[in-house]
Amino acid sequence: MKNISWISWLLITTVISISMVQEAQAVCKEEERKALLEIKASLMNSYDSEADNVLPSWVDFCECCDWERVKCNTITGHVTTLSFNQINNNLRFISEPVKLWPLNVSLFLQFEELRSLNLSMNFLNNAILNTEFATLKNLEILDLTECGFYGTFQIQAYLTNLQKLDFSGNKRFTNTSTIQGTMSGLLYLNLDWNVFRNDSLRFLGAFPSLKFLSLESSCFNRAALLEGYSRTNLVKVQSVKKSGFHFYQLMVSWYSELPYMPNLEVLLLGRNKLRGQLTMKALASFPNLEILDLSSNNLNGSIPSEISALSYLRVLYLAENNLNGSVLEYGLCQLKNLQELDLSLNSFEGNLPQCFSNLSSLKVFEISSNHFTGIIPNMTSLEYINLCHNKFEGLLSFSSLANLRNLVVLEFKSNNDKFEVDTEEPLGWMPMFQLQVLVLSNSNVNIHKGNVVPSFLLHQHELQVLDLSHNSLHGHTPNWLVENNTMLQSLYLRNNSFGGSIRMPSYRDFQLAYLDMSDNEIMGSIPGNIGRFLPFIVFLNLSGNALSGVLPSSVANMSALNILDLSNNEISGEVPQELLKESAISVLKLSHNRLHGEVFSGNYTLYLFNMLLLDNNYFTGKIANNKSFEVTILDISSNLFTGSIPSCLDLVYMKHLHLGHNQFIGSIPKTFGNMYDILTLEIGNNNLFGKIPKFLGQLISLRILLLGKNNFNGSIPNELCRLTSVSLIDLSNNSLSGPIPRCLQNIAAPYYFLFYLQLEGMETYYWSSSYEYLGAQKSWTSLADENPLFDKPDEVPFTTKSISRSYKGHILDFMSGLDLSCNKFIGEIPPELGYLTQILALNLSHNQLVGSIPEKLSNLTNIESLDLSSNNLSGKIPSQLTNLAYLSYFNVSYNNLSGKLLEMKRQFGTFTEASYEGNPLLCGPPLENKCPSTSPVNISPGAIPSAKEDEKWYDIDIIWFFGSLSATWVVYLLGFAAVLYKNPGWRLFTKEVHIWKVIFLQARHRKNKQNG
């Protein structure tokens, strides 16, 4: 046996040696080497100064088979493959015509064995299609992707050996494309991302052996396509892919018009605009179909039972349509060869058919985001199960899945309190599977078993993604999950009740990239060596715990870290300066901690973040003039920053800027006028002064402007009226004066959502694991916790209903308000404010406004809070205000209003005395001041009351009022004097006064006489 082994080893080494010798002996042919150098020369002539960067390894007197982009036959030395794809980025079809590659196709005739030629992503001349390629008769693979071809051209049929042709991404075929002869050997044709017009697809009939045709994201004439398919020589097409295209003449269920193609095996029509009902008439033309993709369309109705006729079907994708109804027992259950079934993102309802248990070949069962109920069928061959977001009720015992030995992915998320998952019964059960992905988010896991971590996880060692978020699980932080699963990439334990401390694993070589342990009860400090043990971490969220201690400097050593959220803890100390320097971190959130120090005092002048959130800490110091923030969202509010806002601050990329609740002084810098993309500007609650700058009116994208509680003076500049996209303006608690601009009527609530879109976009950072389950035609990415990283992509304070509240997230799309309170505005309330029909809150209180309340304020049909208190308003309260159906806070106290209060009905029946106090001339409920009743007047029949008789008692004439008051006082004083005169004592006193008056006058007369 040993001799045989030695002989076998000797034979193998001999064969390898011979192969190596033959390979070493194969050198490129001289004529082919020269042809390659000529090709390089043609490129260099196009580039001039960039010539040195073109094919640098192609040097004379060197072995050409070793050159880049060249492959040779290892025996003969002939060139077999040339890859010139994207030879230079500047050669792409969008480049200037000067970068056109004057390719001489005849040079390729020197390559006798050239089988594959890739010229993709170069800017080529149309002429080479019409003439020169016909000479390359030995080509089997030709790639002309994104070469900038356009207009009329002819595909030559002389490439008789061509098997694969990729013509995708040329986009501009404006006229008829024709083909001369037939290309009998062509198997693969890719025409993705093109625009075909007229009858330009009729040439499809020239490919009798075609097996794969792709028209993804292309535009073409429907009639021309159907005519091309109708040719009898297309019946051998085995794969048709038309994903994401648009017809010029879209028709309902157009695919029902496709010709009979009995040999068609693959039909991919996902991401189109197909609509109408899914009927078997549309699918009857493909009896041997194995793969059918109709996902991401607008199909409706139910799945027809006749689908059972597609007995060879292995893959069925119907996801993301408008399909509804229940899944019938007869239909899908008869597809015995079915391996992948995707019904997700529809509106199916009812119980899952138990006959699914008979689908013995089914591997993928994706039914998420429907309304299914009932019991989950037992399908023993499953590898991938996604049951998320349905309406299942009752108890799911995990042990019922124990025999699914092939199971690798299981996802279940639910917002249904009537459903729970039990992983602990029966005691000691053992799974036969080794999961790679387990998602049990918000599933009431072991809610009646003490909310313990599933014990079967002790036997899982191949997990890559684990999500147990939102389950109220108790106990110490399960650090052992990382120890047991060395391939773990994503661990999500958000919003549970885990306690204890964070402990690093005993080894360092693990691949954890996503870790979320936020909103738990974890205590202690962040391990100082966390940077060494998490070298590949991309996402780290430890927010909402009770972590204390300092922020370890090793965090700055995590070179792959992109998102770090440590907010809402009790972390103290200073922020390591290295963490703020240019790095991979795009989101840094340290809000609501006890951090301190001069965070912007370092030598770094450029801060590159998408989000930098440092609010609600104890940071101090000034911001130097040389700082530049290439940041989208900057929040340093509620700290102790001092000094002026730097006049040279570079904030050109800013969308949300929060500087409020600090100690900044000075004026608003001119650089703020350059923030053309700014959406939120919050600089309230500081010590800023001066006038509101006119350049703020240039910020046409601005949605929220908060300047309240500063020391601004002067009038409101009319330029602010240009902010037609603004929804919240707060100028309260300043020293602003002058009249309220009438042009504020131009400010209206936005007509499009913005903050809602941010919840689904970059600013909220949804994240998913890197795990993908690969199916026959597509892959499924395992989404982890779908809740956004930030509960508030933006949050602003605003006072409504006399209460200061914080509004955050998409609610800002619906919040609209104007607060000018606590200033020195004079004049009347502009009636034009009544045109702000979408406004929800208007506060003009504590000013010096006069005049009456405009009746046009009754046009504010959506208003909820109206505060006009503490002014000098007079007159009646307009009765039209009772039409404000949503008004829940109304305050006109401390004015000079008069008359009877509005009838206590609708919303006005809820307002108390506090809404009206301080107006002595108001009467009626809810005030204690009752309105006096008037005496009845007998009016003879037919008599018409005069205008004076029709006046109400509270229609007071001020002149008559003061005249009658003066006369009353005169009469009173005269009467008082008469009473005193009749009294004997007072008469004696008056006589004595008269005697003393006479004596005084006589004495004065004598003195004057003596002086004279």
The dihedrals phi and psi of 127, each to the nearest 5 degrees, come to: -60, -30
Q: Is the pLDDT of residue 404 over 80?
A: yes
Q: Which helix (H) or strand (E) covers residue 484, if one does? A: helix 480-484
**Which residue range(s) make up the domain with 57?**
20-135
Indicate whether 455 belongs to any domain: no
Q: Which of 68-72, 244-248, 433-437, 823-827 has the lowest mean pLDDT?
A: 244-248
Q: Is pLDDT above 70 for 585? A: yes
Tokens encoding 173: 């075929």
For 686, other C-beta atoms within 10 Å of its C-beta total 23
Give the mean pLDDT of 85-104: 57
At residue 779 the predicted structure's pLDDT band, cuts being 50, 70 and 90, is confident
Which pLDDT value is given to residue 1008? 62
> Using one digit for the tens of pLDDT, what is the confidence trace for 204-227?
777 778 878 877 777 665 555 666
Amino acid at site 958: I
Q: CB-based contacts of 580: which residues, under 8 Å, 6+ apart? A: 588, 599, 602, 604, 607
- Return the CATH number at 95: 3.80.10
Domains: count for the chain: 1
Cα–Cα distance measured from residue 572 to residue 595, given in angstroms and rounded to the nearest whole number: 4
Spell out a b/e string for 971-992, using b for 16 or more CB atoms within 10 Å of the CB, else e: eeeeeeeeeeeeeeeeeeeeee
The answer to whether residue 643 sits within a structural domain is: no
Q: What percent of the chain has pLDDT over 70?
A: 73
* 812-827 b/e (C-beta count within 10 Å ≥ 16 → b): bbbbbbbbbbbbebee
Q: Is the pLDDT of residue 260 over 60?
A: yes
Q: Would you say residue 908 has pLDDT above 60?
A: yes
Q: How far apart are CA 294 and CA 318, in angstroms?
A: 5
Q: Which residues pair with 841 in a beta bridge?
A: 817, 865
Burial classification of residue 33, based on how many CB atoms lie within 10 Å of its CB (0-12 exposed, 13-18 middle, 19 or more buried): buried
SS (H, E, C) 933-985: CCCCCCCCCCCCCCCCCCCCCCCCCHHHHHHHHHHHHHHHHHHHHHHHHHCHH
For 714-770, how does the pLDDT look when each residue is reduced to its tens digit (9 = 90+)?
999 999 989 888 888 999 999 999 999 998 887 665 555 554 434 333 333 444 555
Tell the residue number behind the tokens 């340290």, with chain if given: 590
Measured distance CA(57)–CA(108) in Å, rounded: 19
Tell me the C-alpha to C-alpha distance, in Å, between residue 933 and each of 481, 900, 923, 925, 929: 82, 12, 12, 14, 12
Reading the block at residue 995, the tokens are: 């005697």
Amino acid (one-letter) located at 795? E
| Pair type for strands 772-774 and 779-781 | antiparallel
Interacting residues of 39 by C-beta distance below 8 A, sequence separation 6+: 103, 104, 107
> Is 960 a residue whose pLDDT tops 70?
no
In whole angstroms, give the CA distance from residue 127 to residue 154. 10
Max mean pLDDT among 562-566, 579-583, 767-771 falls in 562-566
Q: What is the pLDDT of residue 948?
A: 43
Residue with tokens 């773990």: 488
* Mean pLDDT within 934-946: 48
| Region of poorest pLDDT, from 180-184, 414-418, 897-901 | 180-184
| Average pLDDT score over the chain | 80
Mean pLDDT check: name the lowest of 398-407, 592-601, 745-754. 745-754
Asked whether residue 808 carries a pLDDT value surpassing 50, the answer given is no
442 and 470 Cβ atoms separated by less than 8 Å: yes
SS3 420: strand
Give the pLDDT score at 699.
Answer: 92
pLDDT at 94: 39
C-alpha–C-alpha distance, residues 433 and 479, integer Å:
22
Asked if the structure places residue 261 within a domain, the reply is: no
pLDDT over 50 (residue 949): no
Give the CA-trace dihedral at 664, 668, 674, 679, to 10 degrees: 70
Calculate the alpha carbon distances from 520 to 451, 467, 498, 786 in Å.
Answer: 14, 14, 5, 18
Average pLDDT score over residue span 80-87:
88
CA–CA dist 72, 551 (Å, integer) = 57
* Per-residue pLDDT band at 506 (split at 50, 70, 90): confident
Query: Quick one: pLDDT at residue 810?
Result: 47
Neighbours of 232 (CB within 10 A): 10
Cα→Cα distances 605→580, 584, 588, 648, 649, Å: 10, 17, 17, 12, 10
Q: What is the pLDDT of residue 507?
A: 74
Rounded average pLDDT over 697-723: 92
pLDDT at res. 638: 94
Amino acid letter, 828:
E
What does the pLDDT read at residue 798? 53
> In 3D, which of 203, 107, 397 has the Cα closest to residue 119?
107
Nearest CA to 697 among 635, 652, 747? 747
User: What is the rounded distance in angstroms from the CA atom of residue 440 to the CA atom of residue 432?
Assistant: 19
Widest distance between CA atoms in the chain: 169
Q: Which residue has the tokens 């029909």?
A: 837
Q: How many CA atoms lie within 13 A of 980 on its CB side?
A: 9
CA distance 622 to 643: 5
Residues 313-336: what's their mean pLDDT? Answer: 91
β-strand 188-190 against 178-180: which pairing, if any?
Answer: unpaired
Predicted pLDDT of residue 24: 46
Across 102-113, average pLDDT: 82
Residue 852 lies in a domain: no
149-165 b/e (C-beta count within 10 Å ≥ 16 → b): bbeebebbbebeebbbb
Helix (H) or strand (E) holding 17: helix 2-25
* pLDDT tens digits along 832-851: 999 988 888 899 999 999 99
| Distance, CA of 467 to CA of 43 (rounded, Å) | 54
Q: The sheet that has 298-301: what strands, in order across it?
A: 275-277, 298-301, 322-325, 347-351, 371-373
Residue 118 is assigned to a structural domain of this protein: yes
Omega within 30 of 0 (cis) for the link into 926: yes
Question: Residue 807's closest CA among 592, 734, 816?
Answer: 816
| Integer-rounded Cα radius of gyration of the chain | 42
Q: Where is pLDDT greater, at 146 or 386?
A: 386
Say if 442 falls within a structural domain.
no
Mean local confidence (pLDDT), 152-176: 70
Give the residue-averaged pLDDT of 254-273: 73
The confidence score (pLDDT) of residue 279 equals 78
List all residues 6 or more positions away from 62 whose beta carbon is below 8 Å from its beta carbon. none
- Tell me how far the alpha carbon of residue 687 is from its chain's centroid: 34
Q: Helix and strand tally (H, E) in the chain?
A: 9, 60
Look at the block and give the residue holding tokens 């049990």: 440
Cα distance between the two ends of the chain:
167
At 365, list the tokens.
């069962």
